[in-house]
Amino acid sequence: MPKWKLTTEFTFDSAHYIKDYDGPCGRMHGHTYKVHIEATSSQLHSSEYCPHSVMVADFKTLRWAKQDVTKGGLDHCILNEVLPPEYETTAEMIAKYIYDQTKKQVPVGVQLKVRVSETPNSWVEYED
């Protein structure tokens, strides 16, 4: 059975603080978050932008989070004000949030893995 793996990376800039954290991360600060998304499928699909079944998922759909917060993304926002309360603003929960929101937008059967880094040498990966 064929299998395709699509990979995309992008960045967005946002501020956050970790609630009740005893240390610098408990104060408002910002990051340039780097997001790496892998989408895997054994079949190709159409998209909102292309009616032909020629892609795993649309790059435009996978990169939703890089849009400005006023357009539904996470760029230039305070994450604590944008993410629902069940998502604390740790890298782990930001990765889960991006995964959960992206999963709603891709075709059924597409497997996702989301990696989020706050710094060049630290990251988290999430997949379900």
pLDDT at 124: 98
Report which of 96, 94, 103 is spatially closest to residue 14, judged by C-alpha positions: 94
- What range defines the domain where residue 15 resides? 4-126
pLDDT at 2: 87
State how many domains the chain has.
1
Mean pLDDT by groups of 10 residues along the chain of 128 residues: 94 97 97 98 94 96 97 98 97 98 96 97 96
Which CATH number covers residue 39? 3.30.479.10
Residue in this structure with the two tokens 């699509």, named with its chain if needed: 6
- For residues 77-105, one letter each, b for 16 or more C-beta atoms within 10 angstroms of the residue's C-beta and e for the rest, the string is bebbeebeeebbbbbebbbbbbbeebeee
Beta-bridged to residue 113, according to DSSP, are 38
Report which of 125, 105, 106, 127 is spatially closest to residue 35, judged by C-alpha positions: 125
pTM, 2 dp = 0.96
pLDDT at 1: 79
